Amino acid sequence: MQDYVNDKVQDEAKQGEAFAPFAYDPNNYKKKFYIESYGCQMNFADSEIVASILNENGFGATRNFEEADLILLNTCSIREKAEQTVRNRLTTFKQIKNEKPGMLIGVLGCMAERLKSKFLEEEKLVDMVVGPDAYRTLPGLIEEAETGQKAVNVLLSREETYADISPIRLDSNGVTAFVSIMRGCNNMCSFCVVPFTRGRERSRDAVSIIKECTDLFNNGYKEVTLLGQNVDSYYFVDEVNDETVTFAMLLEKTAMISPQLRVRFSTSHPKDITDEVLHTMARYENICKYIHLPVQSGSSRILQLMNRTYTREWYMAKVNRIREIMPDCGLSSDIISGFCTETEEDHADTLSMMEFAKYDYSYMFFYSERPGTLAERRYKDDIPEPVKKKRLREIVEMQNRLSKESYSKDIGNTYKVLIEGNSKKSDKDWMGRNSQNKVLVFAKENYGYKKGDYVMVKVNAATQGTLLGTIIN
């Protein structure tokens, strides 16, 4: 659920290709590839896996798609708008390909899994279609496509986790990194296509996760985000060490790499986040006090139709438990307006849920029926689009107010901030985030701090989405 009205993901991991700060020199390679990633953080992490595989097979990265021998789009199927954006980009690349014989175009990810025949046969926009579990076969598929054949592998796997592949960090700031800990999803929410495009849940072995996080820290990274469609259901049986590793245990193992390494995670399913996880978060200062806890709807009736497996009251109790164990915990959510049969009363329940949870921010969008989902097969998409958009506007307005209130309450507080780089607006200012995942912008002054340092920042002012402060030296 990541093609959002307020898409924070794009702030943290932008489209396009860049170079790993410590991995390799792309100019040493005869062939060049260009990759764009769309949608969720998992897609961006997958693109880093793809970059590593291509690197090992003679391809270096480029930011300029016109000089690329291989163009790849890592795609998202969560909304129709995301799919249309990819189609538009493919049309642009096809025009460039017409002027550059030998260039290959490929589609990766969820759209590849869902629309393989359309891409290859009906629209003739691509040379390769590669599903999320088939990236290891890319070298062979490229060789096949170079002969003029259409190359396809969209088979899903119950085992694949890419645990042994060291990702090439794309568009990296050298400070923060994503680390995939599991793939797929078992939840079968009726609106969601993920179980059909990414397959069933399988957890990556804990030893490889800790090794990757340790290597990142040793190479200068100061923050890792553990990624999965539902991280709280992480479960790995380590037969070598005779240990069963839960998500809470994995969090603790990661935090213990170093007190200087911050740990975040995304995304949590409300039904699976446990007290053990919450107490582990509270116990370690370097585990960030922030949870993305998608609610989707505030109506128990709609939640049942969505197959979310919790009620309004159950979700509210979970929010109360988080606040009880970690009073300073930041909270964000996903919210859908206009799901099948939604009434004004259901919509009002969503608004009142937002008021209750007081989210710092939310990812908000109106319902877009996806082919192949349970909702498409079971329910009629019966809410007119103007009504969906009207309700979405009211949700956005509510969240704007809540965000403004949340950020305004931070004025006067002092936070530990990890410097991630220059502010977007001025290279005289730093930007970073606090433990609650709020962005702070503050003047560099003459203190001599650098990217990757921790600093204490006092908040002097706030906008709806940014805290403005000064360094407390």
In a domain, 227, yes or no: yes
Q: For the chain, how many structural domains are there in total? A: 3
Residues 295 and 426 in one domain: no
In a domain, 169, yes or no: no
Determine contact, residues 140/52, Cβ cutoff 8 Å.
no
Per-residue pLDDT band at 24 (split at 50, 70, 90) = very low
State residue 466's pLDDT score.
Answer: 98
Residues 315 and 428 in one domain: no
In a domain, 160, yes or no: no
Residues 13 and 103 in one domain: yes
Q: Which residue has the higher pLDDT, 113 or 37?
A: 37
Last residue of a domain, one of 408, 424, 448: 408
State residue 371's pLDDT score.
Answer: 85
What is the spatial distance between Cα 331 and Cα 438, in angstroms, rounded to a whole number?
10
In a domain, 165, yes or no: no
Determine contact, residues 394/347, Cβ cutoff 8 Å.
yes
State residue 2's pLDDT score.
Answer: 36
The pLDDT of residue 20 is above 80: no
Residues 236 and 369 in one domain: yes
In a domain, 85, yes or no: yes
Last residue of a domain, one of 382, 408, 434: 408
Per-residue pLDDT band at 38 (split at 50, 70, 90) = confident
Which CATH number is 449's domain given? 2.40.50.140
State residue 98's pLDDT score.
Answer: 87
State residue 418's pLDDT score.
Answer: 98
Residues 70 and 207 in one domain: no
Please compute the mean of the pLDDT values over residues 44-64 and round it to a whole number.
91
Per-residue pLDDT band at 6 (split at 50, 70, 90) = very low
State residue 4's pLDDT score.
Answer: 32
In a domain, 55, yes or no: yes
Residues 261 and 340 in one domain: yes
State residue 43's pLDDT score.
Answer: 85
Last residue of a domain, one of 408, 429, 448: 408
Residue type, 339: F
Residues of the chain with pLDDT > 90: what percent?
71
Residues 217 and 355 in one domain: yes
State residue 164's pLDDT score.
Answer: 87
State residue 19's pLDDT score.
Answer: 34
List, for residues 430-456, the tens digit of each pLDDT value: 999 999 999 999 999 999 999 999 999
Q: Which residues of 251-282 are buried (b: 16+ CB within 10 A; e: fewer)?
A: bbbbbebeeebbbbbbbbbbeebeeebbebbb
Residues 298 and 202 in one domain: yes
List, for residues 188-198, the tens digit of each pLDDT value: 999 998 888 88
State residue 407's pLDDT score.
Answer: 98
Tokens for 277, please give them. Answer: 């996880």
Pairing of strands 31-37, 59-61: parallel
The pLDDT of residue 9 is above 90: no
State residue 303's pLDDT score.
Answer: 98
The pLDDT of residue 354 is above 90: yes
Which CATH number is 114's domain given? 3.40.50.12160
Task: Report helix, strand or coil for 396.
Answer: helix
Stretch among 124-138, 156-170, 278-292 having the lowest mean pLDDT: 156-170
The chain-wide mean pLDDT, for the chain, equals 90
List, for residues 304-334, the tens digit of each pLDDT value: 999 999 999 999 999 999 999 999 999 999 9
What is the spatial distance between Cα 137 and Cα 139, in angstroms, rounded to a whole number?
6
No. of H helices and E strands in the chain?
15, 21
Residues 399 and 433 in one domain: no
Per-residue pLDDT band at 123 (split at 50, 70, 90) = low
Please compute the mean of the pLDDT values over residues 59-65 and round it to a whole number.
90
Please compute the mean of the pLDDT values over residues 20-31 and round it to a whole number.
58
In a domain, 1, yes or no: no
Residues 325 and 384 in one domain: yes
Residues 245 and 140 in one domain: no
List, for residues 66-95, the tens digit of each pLDDT value: 999 999 999 887 777 777 888 889 889 988
List, for residues 180-230, the tens digit of each pLDDT value: 999 999 999 999 988 888 888 999 999 999 999 999 999 999 999 999 999
What is the spatial distance between Cα 379 and Cα 305, in angstroms, rounded to a whole number?
9
| Domain around 459 | 414-471
In a domain, 4, yes or no: no
List, for residues 94-117, the tens digit of each pLDDT value: 889 988 888 999 999 888 777 776
Considering only CA atoms, which of 230, 268, 236, 262 is closest in space to residue 249?
A: 236
Which CATH number is 213's domain given? 3.80.30.20
Residues 335 and 393 in one domain: yes
List, for residues 132-172, the tens digit of each pLDDT value: 999 999 999 999 999 988 889 888 888 878 888 888 887 78
List, for residues 390-437, the tens digit of each pLDDT value: 999 999 999 999 999 999 999 999 999 999 999 999 999 999 999 999
Please compute the mean of the pLDDT values over residues 244-254 and round it to a whole number.
98
Please compute the mean of the pLDDT values over residues 372-394 and round it to a whole number.
96
Please compute the mean of the pLDDT values over residues 30-39 and round it to a whole number.
90
State residue 26's pLDDT score.
Answer: 56
